[in-house]
A and B are shown apart, each in its own frame.
Chain A
């Protein structure tokens, strides 16, 4: 009977393994006044100057308030912590911080909270991915040189002049600088951030309407209303629990089953049913995101005068209306300029600025492409990353539309790249030979943000290396202009240069979409397509 004892022993070992693996408790999120919302795992450590994607930004938006805040409806920059921002010349700014603001750990928010945070963000040794936001400030090239070691630890353009005042000196005139200060990279930081960085990262402390109750990296974060919040926009719910979902389909299913209150990314495959599924609890509102096709101007084939006609022709060959209706089910709107409707006409959005070049006209398209000498290289390859965002569908549709216009089934093909990292890598190494997918999500609702980073010579996101002296000159003039409406007009002139050269083909404005449970009310998305959590009412 030796065998029997051994088998029994093996059974015990398996049972022990089961116990060792542990039997955790059940779910139990949500509850009275607390809403649960879908979330994605932030890609970078949660620091204001290191967060460049929506998921991390969502949290920072809840736990931080900066000098300015963008109105969730109009997108207009309004004073939040800033009492006054004065400037005599659009280059030197004196900023006064309001009295009575505190971090949720009790520490007061002072001028130093801002200056220290900005110096930290700009410093090369901290590897902050949003460091370039401080590039406008004088001394940035010392703190963050393009190569080699940094020559200074602090920005020479920043100076604390009192407990609640500090001055900023920019490297050049930039009249809309105060309006950029609502971006999360400019958030103030408490002393604890610097003294015990690791502890702060595991549970960030800010000065916003919420404080973090617990944070399990990769799976969940619970935020609760901070009762001591002095601002005008306190939370109208008891708390928010963010749950990490790997697949937006699962999150959507959970909303349908009543296990999740809010999903802020309705998957494309569900758009067909979403309105009946959720019985009107579906939001589809414009966001500050524009999708374009960018071109490699470092490739000689695309940098000819004829290629300009080809690009305009290609733009005319794309049936935007049909693609946005059939593939995106109206969660995108055909683009007619290079900005976004969320700016509003006063902010620089101008419907129809693209003119006939963005209208679907297959006959004219074919004519223009032939006049321009045909597609460089004989075949159009649109490069995109195939791992996320269902880009394959629309790239194939765009190619189909172009092929139909040209009467040639093989004129345009999609060129998928396996991962986003590799896609960015190939763009960075200038390996593109044809158009490639480009998406621009605004940092702040200003027309400047839709033009300068993308088309200014050697700008941070000018991936195609487009360069035009007239455009650069107009942008410089617009930045120096103190009058807001005149500055916007100059930016629009610059945008017309982009149009005349068809520097990039605008495709469509992207909407934010969200679905929510019936126990929520006052759900809205801000222009960044992030839910305005503090305004949501539960029950």
Chain B
């Protein structure tokens, strides 16, 4: 197990370098970021030249990348164009997005798995058909439509919640945005769980458990669910990274100042330091989440062991 973890950690290094290099190159081919800094008028040449020097933009790209990576390892992610340290932006943005992601994941786990178990056990019944239809609708409607609709109905028409999230972004304010962010994945979790449960319901060990006279909830939770969760855990694990990076739409609709907002601003203003810095951290989140998923397999199914 230990060697497996070490090997996985070592694998992260080339992935990390490759992805940051790619992002770095992509942001750089978009042209000169200083040009957009002075508004509708051109920056005067002297100031532009000096700003370029200050941000290191006058050097060749490979050199910029090398300097950047060197700095990253000392914890310096550079400075955004508005004079703030990128680490400062991160420390304000990541907690917000993490909270949003936690809310979304909780929705996926609690609602998604519960619905999946219910429908899986009652396959073909009206409940099953109803939920299946519901998930189909959720999957086919784009997130921004769901988001704007909920915002309009709950926020403006009925006045149950605030349509936007305050800068503090407390958990209770994030319930609706979290639900919107989770909606599509939630539908997938439901369907995955349902199929898995329905399949395992007919297996020998479940029949044995029932024959032993175990109470029904024990059969379902201990025997059936535990074995059915492996594909679901895989999905949820990889979804953590996707949710954090993909929160751009949801964060914009509900005015949440998280990672999506900073990335959006960074891309609009072509701010290399912000974009690369945030993407770097997101890559790390992805990698760690995937590792955790693999390790969780062993917990769920002791037969799975890593050499």
Which A residues contact B (CB, under 8 angstroms)? 2-3, 6-7, 10, 14, 17-18, 21-29, 41-45, 52-53, 124-125, 127-129, 131-132, 144-147, 201, 216-220, 243-247, 250-251, 253-254, 256-260, 387-388, 418-428, 438-441, 453, 460-461, 463
Contact present for B42 and A421 (CB under 8 Å): no
What are 8 A-to-B residue pairs whose CB atoms are below 8 Å? A43-B39, A45-B82, A129-B43, A216-B92, A244-B167, A251-B255, A253-B151, A438-B40
A-facing mask of B92-103, CB < 8 A → 1, else 0? 100100110010
Q: Is B108 an interface residue (CB 8 A)?
A: no
Complexed CA–CA distance, A24 and B88 (Å): 18
Q: Shortest CB–CB separation between residue B255 and chain A, in angstroms?
A: 5
Q: Is B30 an interface residue (CB 8 A)?
A: yes
Contacts A218-B89, A250-B163, A251-B255 given; 4 further ones with Cβ under 8 A? Answer: A41-B265, A43-B39, A250-B253, A259-B164
Residues of B within 8 A of A6 (CB): 299
The 4 closest A-B pairs by CB, nearest first: A421-B36, A27-B166, A219-B167, A24-B168
B301 CB, min distance to chain A CBs, angstroms? 9
Q: A146-B45, A259-B163, A440-B40 are in contact. Are A23 and B171 (CB under 8 A)?
A: yes
Task: Give the residues in chain A near B264, CB-CB below 8 Å.
Answer: 246
Taken together as a complex, chains A and B put the C-alpha atoms of A3 and B47 apart, in Å, by: 63
Closest B residue to A289 by beta carbon equals B40
Inter-chain contact A422/B30, CB cutoff 8 Å: yes
What mask results when residues 129 to 140 of chain B are scored 1 for a CB within 8 Å of chain A, else 0? 000000000000
* CB <8 Å contact, A422 and B170: no
- Residue-wise, chain B 24-57 has the 8 Å CB interface mask toward A (1 for contact) of 0000001111011111111111110111001000
Are A26 and B172 CB-contacts (below 8 A) given A245-B164, A246-B251, A259-B163?
yes
Q: Is B47's CB under 8 angstroms from A129's CB?
A: yes
Q: Does B270 contact A (CB under 8 A)?
A: yes
B32 touches A425 (CB 8 A): yes
Whether the Cβ atoms of B44 and A23 lie closer than 8 Å is no
Query: Of A45, A125, A144, A246, which is in contact with the most chain B CB atoms at under 10 Å from its CB?
Result: A246
- The CA of A250 and the CA of B264, in the complex, are separated in Å by 16
Residues of B within 8 A of A23 (CB): 170-171
Residue from the set A17, A52, A201 with the largest chain B CB neighbour count within 10 Å: A52
Residues of A within 8 Å of B82, CB to CB, are: 41-45, 217
Residue pair A253, B102 in contact (C-beta under 8 Å): no
Bound state CA distance, A14 and B35, in angstroms?
A: 45
In angstroms, Cα B39 to Cα A423, docked, is: 11
Cβ of B268 < 8 Å from any Cβ of A?
Answer: yes
Cα of A3 to Cα of B223 in the assembled complex, Å? 12
A69 vs chain B, min Cβ distance (A): 22
Whether A259 contacts B47 by the Cβ 8 Å rule is no
Decide yes or no: A426 and B31 within 8 Å by CB, A246-B252, A419-B270 being known contacts. Answer: yes
Interface 9-mer from B113-121, B152-160, B209-217: B152-160
Please name all residues of chain A whose beta carbon is closer than 8 Å to the beta carbon of B98 when the two chains form the complex: 17, 21
Interface size for B (C-beta < 8 A) is: 67
> Which chain B residue has the least Cβ–Cβ distance from A421?
B36
A3 CA / B301 CA spacing, docked (Å): 9
* B94 and chain A: residue at smallest CB distance: A21
Q: What's the nearest-Cβ distance from chain B to residue A70, in Å? A: 19
User: A419 and B30 in contact (CB under 8 A), knowing A24-B170, A253-B152?
Assistant: yes
Task: Check B257 for interface membership: any CB of A closer than 8 A.
Answer: yes
**How many Å from the CB of B153 to the closest CB on chain A?**
11
| A124-B50 CB under 8 A given contacts A43-B82, A245-B164 | yes
- A25 proximity list for chain B (CB < 8 A): 168, 170
* Interface contact A453-B268, CB-CB below 8 Å: no
Q: How far is it, in angstroms, between the C-alpha of A258 and the C-alpha of B162 when the chains are bound? A: 9
Question: Contacts of B166 on A, CB cut-off 8 Å?
Answer: 26-29
CB-CB under 8 A from A422, the residues of chain B are 30-31, 35-36, 270
Given the complex of chains A and B, what is the CA–CA distance between A184 and B30 in angstroms?
Answer: 32
Chain B residues in contact with chain A, CB under 8 A? 30-33, 35-47, 49-51, 54, 81-84, 88-89, 92, 95, 98-99, 102, 151-152, 155-156, 159, 162-164, 166-173, 226, 251-255, 257, 261-262, 264-265, 267-270, 296, 299-300, 302
Contact indicator B255/A245 (Cβ below 8 Å): yes
Known contacts A124-B50, A419-B36; decide if A250 and B31 are in contact (CB<8 Å): no
The CA of A253 and the CA of B156, in the complex, are separated in Å by: 7
Say whether B42 contacts A127, CB under 8 Å: no
B275 to chain A, nearest CB (A): 11
A21 touches B102 (CB 8 A): yes
Task: For B101, give the chain A residue with the smallest CB separation.
Answer: A21
Residues B50 and A388 in contact, CB atoms below 8 Å apart = no
Which residues of A have CB within 8 Å of B300?
3
Which chain B positions have C-beta within 8 A of A421?
Answer: 30-33, 35-37, 268-270
State how many angstroms separate the Cβ of A423 from the closest Cβ of chain B: 8
B268 to chain A, nearest CB (A): 6
Question: Is there contact, CB below 8 Å, between A460 and B46?
Answer: no
CB distance from B217 to the nearest CB of A (A): 15
Smallest CB separation, B92 vs chain A (Å): 7
CB closest residue in chain A, given B260: A246
Task: Report the minimal beta-carbon distance from B90 to chain A, rounded to whole angstroms.
Answer: 12
- Among B43, B163, B172, B269, the most chain A Cβ lie within 10 Å of the Cβ of B163
Residue in A24, A147, A245, A258 whose CB lies within 8 Å of B46: A147
Chain B residues contacting A201 (CB-CB under 8 Å) are 83
Cα(A81)–Cα(B12), bound, Å = 62
- Contact (A131, B164) CB under 8 Å given A41-B82, A246-B251: no
Chain A hits for B36, CB < 8 A? 419-425
Contact A218/B257 with A21-B95, A27-B162, A259-B163 known, Cβ cut-off 8 Å: yes
| Chain A residues within 8 Å of B169, by CB | 24
Who on chain A is nearest to B99 by CB? A21
Q: Tell me which of A144, A254, A421 has the highest count of chain B C-beta atoms within 10 A of its own C-beta.
A: A421
Q: Which residue of A lies closest to B39 (CB)?
A: A52
Cα A53 to Cα B82 in complex, Å, equals 13
A26 contact set on B, CB distance < 8 A: 166, 168, 170, 172-173
| Residue contact A243 to B49, C-beta cutoff 8 Å | no
Chain A residues near B254: list those with CB within 8 A.
250
What's the least CB distance linking A304 to chain B, in Å? Answer: 25
The CA of A250 and the CA of B83, in the complex, are separated in Å by 27
Asked whether A216 and B268 contact (CB < 8 A) given A250-B253, A419-B36, the answer is no
With contact pairs A250-B164, A256-B156 given, residues A388 and B102 touching in the complex (Cβ less than 8 Å): no
Compute how far the CA of A23 lies from the CA of B84 in the bound complex, rounded to whole angstroms.
Answer: 25
- A394 to B50, alpha carbons, bound, how many Å? 36
The closest CB in chain A to the CB of B89 belongs to: A218
- Is the beta-carbon distance between A246 and B255 smaller than 8 angstroms? yes
**Cβ of A17: which chain B residues have Cβ within 8 Å of it?**
98, 102
B168 touches A27 (CB 8 A): yes
- Please indicate the chain A residues that have their CB under 8 angstroms from the CB of B252 in the complex: 246-247, 250
Q: Which residues of B contact A28 (CB under 8 A)?
A: 166
A52 to B43 alpha-carbon distance, docked (Å):
11
How far, in whole Å, are A7 and B222 apart by their CA atoms in the complex?
12
| Residue in chain B with minimal CB distance to A41 | B265
A500 to B251 CA separation, bound complex (whole angstroms): 50
Are the CB atoms of B42 and A463 closer together than 8 Å?
Answer: yes
Residue of A nearest to B298 (CB): A6
Q: What separation, in Å, do the CA atoms of A245 and B166 have in the docked complex?
A: 10
**Chain A residues with CB below 8 A from B32, complex form:** 421, 425, 428
Instruction: Name which residue of chain A comes closest to B31, CB basis.
Output: A425
Query: Is the CB–CB distance between A22 and B253 below 8 Å?
Result: no
Asked, given contacts A387-B268, A425-B36, whether A217 binds B84 with beta carbons under 8 Å apart, the answer is: yes
Q: Which of A2, A7, A45, A217 has the most CB of B within 10 A?
A: A217
A257 touches B162 (CB 8 A): yes
